[in-house]
A and B are shown apart, each in its own frame.
Chain A
Amino acid sequence: MAKDTTKNILLRLETGLAERLQTVASVEGRSVSDVAREAIAALVDQRRQDSRFSELLEENLTRHEESLRRLRDDG
């Protein structure tokens, strides 16, 4: 990625989940955002380990590799 900045996150969480995140953050002495990011990353990892999803993605990227490479960069 071009920039190495951390984005603010705005999460729509159920009250129960928000409270659990708050508890974990308090116990570990971290911000709620940090704990939330870690939880989201775990879910993203889970998705990346889904064999059907990742197989389709690899096939896709291989099939369109040349086209994607030639797409112009962001202005």
Chain B
Amino acid sequence: MRYLGPYDVLAVAARVLRCPSEDVVRRTELDAIERVLDGVRMTSGLAEAAGVLLAGLVRARPFDGANRVVSVAVVLQFVTLNRADVQLEPVADVDELLDRIVSGEAGHREAAAFIRSRLEHHPVTAEDLQDDLRIELLLGEETLMQEWWRGTDMYERFSDPARRVIVLAQEEARGLDHTYVGTEHLLLGVIAEGHSIAARVLSPLGITADAVKDLVVEIIGRGKGGTTGSIPFTPRAKSTFEYAWGEARARGAEQVRPEHLLLGVLHDRDGVGGQIITKLAADIDQVRRKLEERMNYRERSEALVAGMLTEDTGPTWTTYGRRHHLVHELNAVLDENERLHEQVANLRDLLRRHNIDPDS
């Protein structure tokens, strides 16, 4: 997401109020703007961020006299910079919301819900993706010298398949002569790893390695030269790891798995990986829903086996070993089951394409 800085806000105010920049600086509560923008940076979704921005500016009243119109204009600019638009009509509803914010009856949550209901996302263009990449690289330059993510401790929280995803993502970046690993390479890594639930969800939706790679090459192109040694992660890729770890913990998993990494890529819709998924699958929410369905099914099955074992005896190393073995076996059965389901689904599609009703 593109966050606004204080100069962006002041630039909007100066334009709306049609006054020179020095006037707007002199007459505006700059520290109030800083506080509101600090709150906005704590958010992740566009509607939530716009809600915090609107409620914060309306309540703090940093722009004397024309606070309401400037605040709304700032929110419009913020939303537009993030490739969306907010419908203001009917204006009476906007006025009512602003009144409620001023009186303290409504806060940023209500403002976010209001904006969400009137938000219209613009389609992503190739220029947008290139622009995103440029910004990712600019941001990346500032952090390239830092250790990736939070150091090696975090990497140890990755399961073996998730580590393979990381290694494969680096190989994909290297293969494209890219000097960084971004969310698009993580997506390619998840697909190339091939055995996870995540990879199985992507393939039937047309999000294949070839399709993703073609899109990356078409939009971003190949790098200019070969890279050796470790390739740094972009800030968005690091945020994806953070999000994946949060998802893993929320779901009671002890390690980050490839599906958690894909959830991270799906979460960052503005990242190149997220935008490529949107381009290929049209509905990114559908991809997430399908992934979560599979994950929930798998987690329930694992919990069932674990429950059965702990009912028999207390937790000992023997039961831990049995559990591990049984979960492994269960996963193999579930994998086979899913593979068969996919084959059946493909066959049914084939029959339909030949005008044959598979249920007749």
A binding-site residues for B, Cβ under 8 Å: 1-7, 9-12, 37-38, 40-48, 53-54, 56-57, 59-61, 63-64, 67-68, 70-75
Contacts and interface: CB of A to CB of B under 8 A. Distances in A.
A64 B89 CA distance: 9
Interface of B is mostly: helix
A54 to B, nearest CB: 8
Contacts of A60: 73, 76-77, 80
B72 interface: yes
B68 A72 contact: yes
Contacts of A38: 22
Interface size class of B (residues with CB under 8 A): 35 or more
B67 A37 contact: no
Given A1-B17, A60-B80, A74-B65, A53 B11 contact: yes
A70 B28 CA distance: 23
A70 B69 CA distance: 9
A41 to B, nearest CB: 4
A71 B91 contact: yes
Given A9-B31, A67-B89, A44 B24 contact: yes
Contact of A73 (B23, B68, B85): B68
B273 to A, nearest CB: 24
Contact of B22 (A3, A9, A37, A48): A37
16 contacts: A1-B17, A1-B19, A1-B66, A2-B65, A7-B28, A7-B29, A12-B34, A40-B7, A42-B21, A43-B7, A44-B21, A44-B24, A45-B21, A47-B11, A67-B91, A71-B98
B81 A2 contact: no
A73 B67 CA distance: 8
A3 to B, nearest CB: 5
A53 B69 contact: no
B339 interface: no
B280 interface: no
Interface string B289-318: 000000000000000000000000000000
A66 to B, nearest CB: 9
Interface in B76-97: 76-77, 80-81, 85, 88-89, 91, 94-95
